[in-house]
């Protein structure tokens, strides 16, 4: 039985998924995609990096784009509640023999840089510089009118191991996909801290790699609108999947690929998960409505392509089960 | 050069596409689909037929479902402006050697039953019994909140011949698809009388057959909503294509199939075409955004499956050019 | 009985309401309002004038803003079908002793400049320079994402006289407001040529004056969005009424005032009116849902303030009946 | 300085606002309003009570309507995380000399019945019977397509006292309204546990009384749709305020009154507030955009009318400052 009880008193208090840092080869092209097309706001721009936030966000950035010879993902970042939580997190990771460091990170307070047992690079911090929220500066809304970062989805070579690790540190399961054999295996998990379907999800595959970041819009129409914009302004090939509704999470979605292939999901319409007695929802890997409630299978690229994390070695998945894929 | 000037003083005045009559094998199953799922209103029900209208419509019916051993389409109906137009229409068809009759038709005034030169059965009439418009009885809105019939789309074995015939009687071209060879051939046409993109369209294929009726909703969200309903109430397999945006007509669409395979397109967001000097828009058959602005090709069924008209013989198309199809 | 039968064979064929020309005191401020805020596209700009169109429009302009010492309306423009219609129109107006001239008008073909019997200045023309439609250049959509001009609404001192005149030239009544006395009087009329609720409406009041132009958006959400933008970018005081739903026409609306007080209605969701046997809908002047289906009365300014037409004298209305007004 | 630091380690862990119980005089009329019009689902109905839930909810009920000679509110309910939290809560309230009891409550586990220092009746519980979530049974969505309860808003005679009390038990301030005098006074507060703008709000006024419950919809269009339904199905007089956008909370809203005058706010579009360092937003009582971003003042009834809690005495507010009201 692969599913466990949630841990309500975790060793440290993670508040939410906060940001990602992506390596991009051409900052100009990335700016065109994220800012001019998707409508991200630029909090800070230098010759080497762009710090972006969405209209609701007061945090200095939820996406950092850094000029890089290769299109790697650099890290995924989580906010913790207090400085004590940061110290407890460092202790927890160190005790497991995992790397811990406190590098200087621009625009952030004290930052713990570590990695999970599968090698996924993680940043934890408490304070970030605050910027002006543009939530009620509606004239600044552009593109997909993205409001905030919602979640981070990664490929892992061992979903059970990833699930176990994040359960231990307090992430709570909301939905999961299993194989149908008598000895059912976890194939994907959706886990949260902030009270909606997920802050962090894992999909079975070569990993650790970043599958996508999910960013939240207020309305499904914002997502239809950006489809029209992308399809008619040179970004048709960047529309990978959707728009559609997921069975899992009930979200309305569009998957896009940035100029380096990093995947960004526009996402809305999931649900509240704060109740401690919320029962996770099980999906069969063989159920086509799991992926897309309306029946369209995901393209093969969605299951196979992802962003590697710097020089973190990628392993083949321990589980060979295959999802339903479009041609 | 296959495109002609519009005829502004046609031999008789067609107002708009008005209704279709479909033969269905199981009235109960059809009622479940059209009324309980899509939200059509029943104006009249008998043991043998259902007369349906959408919320805006004052006409007694825009869809007639008649019990039938085979799932045939029976006819497509157009409203003309005056009784004189009806007589002029009869004269026009008779002069071309086409059949003309004035059968008794329930709930309609004098009705001319004829066929176009390709064999497509046509009804023309001036007056239909009037029912209560439910446009401002919002509590009666259900399902896809369909407001009115918009258009009729047929397969024809000879698009040029169909185009020429309907041009002569005043239908005006708004968009068309051509092959790319030096001797370009018409592959599909969209023609109107009422001032939006179409009342009648023709697609190259085995015909004459009904491809679909198009019905109008006020919002793209109505179409997303019915996707959710269909996908979770036993109609997943009835969702054939979409939701998506057409390049042609700019419409947001979902194609559904009723229990007999008759195709119904939910449709919104086209544009005004009343200007006499409106230039038709040309699309290349090889342009993938012609079908779907967002890139998804149509399924093969969309181009191959349609409803035959009673015992009207179906011919192979004169044009062999193939559209882009999904696997 | 103030209501008459429609005239189906009018003396000349008006296609639709096409454009207005407004005198504005500060072109920069007007540009900020129409272009930067509402999202109009600039087809042509000179030191003295701005020619604007909405995203769907291929006509060179639907609004002309001309620098003017006073904020007058200059004229309202209608497209007619053919050059012959233009000559027939000139003959018709001349026969009634009304002024006729054919001035040179930039970006338009031959243009008849005349006035109706109440003094309302009218331009009729057949051809206008054509611009690129931006309907499928979605990246160019801004502000309220306005698609096209829909209608023109004027105060008239004699609704019955205005109604009679435009009925004679083929405008067809769709809805009307009457007083409730035994000898019912017309208080407002909505009349169309293009097949929706109106191209031209008249409201009882000091006139002739322009009450507003109505411009069409594809979705009610576009109107909610521009409310948010206007309210948070310095245009709060320019939001005069709404958003709301009219009982009359069923439209979802917002009334705005430009920097000179000219009124622009954002408008969507009316219905198809092409059927020649469509019965006009009667409303009582005393019905509060006539104005706003949701009950809110219109502000007094809506009934009292309007744009005078140059030096055209304004008369008091012959009918003293008062609508319901908010404090 | 009336604003305090949040308490991150409260004496017991409240998860969220969970439900209200309302006394109604006519269960049939209440059912027509909540179920047939607003679209609530009936989990359980008896001769004396209706237990209702919204489409996302797995809890047995979020609204209980109980037959009552007077239209009182009976209590407001909050879910706590664990049974230990329940005991800690009982200890906390008892220590303050407040009433504590553990009555049998149908469909709920152990339930603490108490009251805050102002007399507001409170129920705390951990477990409620679980029902089928209808989130992906889209055919069951009706009316306003309400997804879940969001918050509870009460009048209090002493906003500062209420704010202090709920701050002590871990409710965190997101927005507040102050008077503008040098010795600024709190006039209203919005406080949360679940991570959006509020679970509980207090408005200055005669109290304790229930101002309203707020229920969440996925889209602003759901709220526009129910306006149309209410306005045309006999509930026009039950639409008290809106639709509109609040400055405070950024929510899109409609306030309705049920047949007994209990107020229900349809609500969407606020924002995420889980960050512990989120700075509360201050609004001046004199700012008209505080109430409604688009400028319309609230009607006087909104500030004066509310539901009394059984026989709990109501006191005049200690603060005399007046909000902006419509005539």
Residue C189 has pLDDT above 90, yes or no: yes
Radius of gyration of chain C (CA): 19
Cβ within 8 Å of residue D223, ≥6 positions away: D144, D217, D242, D243, D252, D253, D254, D266, D268
A301 near B CB under 8 A: no
Compute φ and ψ for D230, nearest 5 degrees.
-60, -40
DSSP A237-292: GGEEEEEEE-SGGG-EEEEEE-TTS-EEEEEE-------TTPPPEEEETT-HHHH-
C206, two tokens: 């000091």
Cα angle A161, A163, A169 (rounded to 5 degrees) comes to 105
Helix (H, G, I), strand (E, B), or coil: what is residue C36? helix
Place of tokens 């809110």: C296
**A135, A136, A275 member nearest D79 (Cβ):** A275
Chain D residues closer than 8 Å to A109 by CB: none
Residue C177 has pLDDT above 90, yes or no: yes
How far apart CA A289 and CA A294 sit, in angstroms, is 7
Are the Cβ atoms of D236 and C295 closer than 8 angstroms? Answer: yes
Q: What is each CA distance from A80 to A194, A195, A218, C293, D181, in whole angstroms?
A: 11, 15, 25, 50, 38
Q: In this predicted model, what pLDDT tens digit does every residue of D9-44 receive, in sequence order?
A: 999 999 999 999 999 999 999 999 999 999 999 999
Nearest CA in chain C to D256: C294
Nearest beta carbon to residue D137 from set B137, B138, B232: B232
Residue D321 has pLDDT above 90, yes or no: no
ipTM of the complex: 0.96
Cα B228 from Cα D55, distance rounded (Å): 14
pTM of the model: 0.98
Give φ, ψ of B174 to 5 degrees: -115, -35
pLDDT value of position A322: 85
Q: How confident is the model at residue B17 (pLDDT cuts 50, 70, 90)?
A: very high
Report the number of secondary-structure helices (H) and strands (E) in chain B: 6, 17
| DSSP string for residues in C60-92 | S-SEEEEE-SS--EEEEEEEESSHHHHHHHHHH
The pLDDT of residue A326 is: 81
Determine the Cα angle at B116 with ends B110 and B121, to 5°: 60
B239 CB neighbours in chain A (<8 A) are 294-295
Q: Please determine, for residue B39, whether its predicted confidence score (pLDDT) is greater than 60.
A: yes
Residue D2's pLDDT is 85
Selected residue of D133, D232, D233 to mutate for chain B interface (largest B Cβ count, 10 A): D232
Rounded Cα distance between B19 and B17, Å, is 6
Considering only the beta carbons, identify the residue of A138, A219, A228 that sits closest to C229: A138
**D227–chain C Cβ distance below 8 A for any pair:** yes
What pLDDT shows up at residue D1?
A: 58
Question: Between the CA of residue A274 and those of A171, A206, B25, C55, what are the distances in Å?
Answer: 12, 31, 49, 44
**Closest to B120 measured CA to CA, from B67, B72, B156:** B156
Burial zone of D160 (CB within 10 Å; 0-12 exposed, 13-18 middle, 19+ buried)? middle
Q: Which residues in chain C touch residue B274, judged by CB atoms under 8 angstroms apart?
A: 15-16, 194-195
User: What percentage of chain C carries pLDDT values higher than 90?
Assistant: 96
Residues of C in contact with A232 (CB under 8 A): 136-139
Is the Cβ pair A272, D82 closer than 8 Å?
no
For residue B256, give the chain A residue with the closest CA.
Answer: A294
B/e letters for C83-111, b = 16+ CB within 10 Å, e = fewer, are: eebbebbbebbeeeebebeeeebebbebb
The Cα A297–Cα B64 span in angstroms is 35
Q: Across the interface, do D252 and C227 touch by the CB < 8 Å criterion? A: no
Confidence tier at B127 by pLDDT (50, 70, 90): very high
Question: Mean pLDDT throughout C9-29?
Answer: 98
pLDDT band at B327 (very low <50, low <70, confident <90, very high): low
CB C86 within 8 A of CB C124: yes
Contacts of B327 in chain A (CB under 8 A): 327
Report the pLDDT averaged over residues D264-270. 97
Give the residue from chain A lying closest to D276, CA to CA: A81
Mean pLDDT value across residues B105-110? 98
For an interface test with A, the pick among B222, B223, B224 (most A C-beta atoms closer than 10 Å) comes out as B224
Q: Count of CB atoms within 10 A of residue D101's CB?
A: 9
- pLDDT number for residue A1: 57
User: What is the per-residue pLDDT for C1?
Assistant: 57
Q: Which has the closest alpha carbon to A171: A207, A144, A198, A141?
A: A198
Q: Measure A228 CA to nearest chain B CA, in Å.
A: 7
Do residue A138 and residue C221 have CB atoms under 8 angstroms apart?
no
Q: What is the pLDDT of residues D68-77, one digit of tens each?
A: 999 999 999 9
Q: How far is D316 from chain A (nearest CA, A)?
A: 34
Bridge partners of D107, per DSSP, are none
Identify the pLDDT of residue D322: 85
Instruction: Identify all chain C residues contacting A233, using CB atoms and an 8 Å cutoff.
Output: 137-139
> What is the model's pLDDT at position D326?
80
Q: Give pLDDT tens digits for B194-224.
A: 999 999 999 999 999 999 999 999 999 999 9
> Quick one: tokens of D173?
């301030």
Q: How far, in Å, CA of C115 to CA of D323, rounded? A: 51
Q: Does D101 reach chain B within 8 Å, measured CB to CB?
A: no
**Is D32's Cβ below 8 Å from some Cβ in B?**
no
Quote the pLDDT of residue D238: 98
Q: What's the gap in Å between the CA of C62 and the closest CA on chain A?
A: 24
Prior bond to D127 cis, omega within 30?
A: no
Supply A20's token pair. Answer: 């990602």
Report how far residue B138's alpha carbon sits from residue C270's, in angstroms, rounded to the nearest whole number: 14
Taking contacts as CB-CB distances below 8 angstroms, the residues of chain B near D219 are 221
Q: Does B103 touch chain A (CB under 8 A)?
A: no
CB contact set of A296 (below 8 Å; sequence gap of 6+):
A244, A326
- Asked if pLDDT for residue D312 goes beyond 90, the answer is yes
User: Would you give the end-to-end CA distance of chain D in angstroms?
Assistant: 33
- Listing DSSP states for D154-166 in one string gives EEES-HHHHHHHH
Chain B within 8 Å of A281 (Cβ-Cβ)? no
Question: Residues of A133-157 as b/e, b for ≥16 C-beta within 10 angstroms?
Answer: bbbbebbbbbbbbbbbbbbbbbbbb
Name residue, tokens 């890997």.
A285
Q: Determine, for residues C245 and D228 on separate chains, whether the beta-carbon distance falls below 8 Å.
A: yes
Measured in angstroms, the CA of C163 and the nearest CA of chain A are apart by: 40
Pick from D306, D240, D235: which is nearest to D36 by CA? D235
pLDDT in the model for residue B16: 98
User: At A327, is the pLDDT very low, low, confident or very high (cuts 50, 70, 90)?
Assistant: low
**pLDDT band at residue A89 using 50, 70 and 90 as cut-offs:** very high
Q: What is the pLDDT of residue D107?
A: 98
**What's chain A's length in residues?**
327
Tokens of A5: 């009880």
pLDDT mean over A266-274: 97
Q: Give the residue on C whose Cα is nearest the Cα of B270.
A: C218
Q: Mutating which of B270, B288, B294, B296 best tests the A interface, going by the most A Cβ atoms within 10 A?
A: B294
Mean pLDDT of chain D: 97
* Dist. CA B205–CA B304, nearest whole Å: 7
The Cα–Cα gap between A33 and D257 comes to 47
Gyration radius (Cα) of chain A, Å: 19
Q: Taking residues B11-26, report their average pLDDT.
A: 98
Are C272 and B127 within 8 A, CB to CB? Answer: no
Residue A21 pairs with which residues in a beta bridge? A64, A75
From chain B, the residues in CB contact with A245 under 8 A are 224, 227-228, 231
Put simply, the answer to whether A195 touches D275 (Cβ < 8 Å) is no
pLDDT at D327 over 80: no
CA atoms of C37 and A138, how far apart (whole Å): 11
* Contact check, Cβ <8 Å, D271/A194: no
What pLDDT does B173 receive?
98
Cβ proximity of C8 and C167 under 8 Å = no
CA distance D227 to chain A (A): 19
Mean pLDDT of C300-323: 94
Query: CB-CB: which of B59, B81, B276 is closest to C81?
Result: B276
Tell me the pLDDT tens digit for each residue of C111-169. Answer: 999 999 999 999 999 999 999 999 999 999 999 999 999 999 999 999 999 999 999 99
Residue of C224, C250, C301 to mutate for D, most D C-beta atoms under 10 A: C224
Residue recorded with tokens 């023609």: B191
Q: Closest Cα of chain B to D241: distance in Å?
A: 20
What is the Cα A4 distance to its own chain's centre? Answer: 23
The distance of B146 to chain A (nearest Cα, Å) reads 19
The answer to whether residue D310 scores a pLDDT higher than 80 is yes
Is there a contact between A78 and A15 (Cβ–Cβ < 8 Å)?
yes
Closest chain A residue by Cα to residue C137: A232
CB neighbour list of residue D266: distance below 8 Å, 6 or more residues apart: D144, D146, D214, D215, D217, D222, D223, D226, D253, D254, D256
- Whether chain A has a CB inside 8 Å of the CB on C225: the answer is yes
Mean pLDDT across chain C:
97
Mutate to test the interface with B, among A227, A249, A294, A324 (most CBs of B within 10 A): A294
d(CA D78, CA D128): 11
**In this complex, is the C-beta atom of A256 within 8 Å of any C-beta atom belonging to chain D?**
no
Helix, strand, coil % in chain B, rounded to nearest 5: 20, 35, 45
Residue C222 in 3-state DSSP? helix
Measured between its terminal Cα atoms, the distance across chain A in Å is: 33
Q: Specify the pLDDT at position D88.
A: 98
DSSP 8-class letter at C108: B
The tens digit of pLDDT for each residue in C268-293 reads 999 999 999 999 999 999 999 999 99
Compare CB distances from C138 to A137, A141, A228 and report the shortest one's residue: A228
Chains that touch D (3 or more CB pairs under 8 A): A, B, C
Is cis: bond before D122, omega within 30 of 0?
no
Percent of chain D with pLDDT over 70: 99
Q: Is C234 on the interface with D (CB under 8 A)?
A: no
In the stretch 182-221 of chain A, residues with CB closer than 8 A to chain B read: 220-221
Question: What three-state secondary structure class fits D316?
Answer: coil
Cβ distance A221 to C225 less than 8 Å, yes or no, reads no
User: What part of C 124-183 touches D (C-beta under 8 Å)?
Assistant: none
State the pLDDT confidence band at B323, using cuts at 50, 70 and 90: confident
**Which chains would you list as touching A if contact means 3+ CB atom pairs under 8 Å?**
B, C, D
**Is residue A140 scored above 90 in pLDDT?**
yes
Q: What is the pLDDT of residue D272?
A: 98
At A184, the pLDDT band (50, 70, 90 cuts) reads very high
Could you say which DSSP state residue D56 is in?
T
Token pair for A128 = 């970030």
């Amino acid at each position: 039985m692969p599913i466990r009880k949630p841990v309500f008193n975790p060793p440290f208090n993670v508040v939410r998924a906060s940001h990602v840092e992506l390596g991009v080869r051409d900052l100009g092209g990335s700016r065109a995609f994220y800012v001019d097309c998707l409508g991200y706001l630029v909090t800070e721009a230098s010759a080497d990096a762009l710090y972006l936030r969405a209209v609701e966000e007061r945090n200095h950035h939820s996406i950092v784009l850094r000029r890089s010879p290769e299109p790697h993902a650099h890290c995924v970042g989580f906010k913790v509640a207090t400085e004590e939580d940061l110290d407890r997190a460092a202790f927890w990771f160190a005790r497991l023999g995992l790397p811990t460091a406190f590098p200087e990170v621009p625009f952030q307070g004290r930052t713990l840089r570590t990695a999970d047992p599968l090698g996924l690079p993680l940043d934890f911090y408490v304070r970030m510089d605050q910027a002006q929220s543009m939530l009620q500066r509606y004239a600044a809304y552009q593109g997909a009118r993205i409001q905030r970062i919602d979640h981070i989805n990664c490929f892992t070579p061992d979903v059970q191991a990833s699930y176990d690790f994040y359960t231990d540190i307090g992430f709570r399961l909301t939905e999961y996909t299993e194989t149908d054999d008598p000895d059912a295996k976890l194939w994907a998990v959706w886990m949260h801290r902030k009270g909606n379907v997920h802050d962090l999800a894992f999909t079975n595959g070569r990993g650790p790699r970043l599958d996508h970041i999910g960013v939240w819009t207020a309305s499904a129409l914002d997502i239809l609108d950006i489809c029209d914009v992308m399809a008619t302004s040179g970004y048709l090939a960047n529309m990978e999947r959707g728009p559609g509704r997921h069975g899992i999470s009930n979200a309305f979605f569009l998957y896009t690929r940035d100029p380096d292939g990093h995947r960004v999901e526009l996402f809305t319409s999931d649900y509240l998960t704060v109740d401690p007695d919320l029962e996770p929802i099980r999906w069969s890997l063989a159920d086509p409505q799991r992926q897309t409630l309306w029946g369209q299978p995901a393209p093969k690229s969605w299951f196979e392509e992802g962003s590697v994390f710097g020089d973190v070695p990628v392993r083949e998945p321990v589980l060979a089960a295959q999802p339903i894929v479009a041609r």
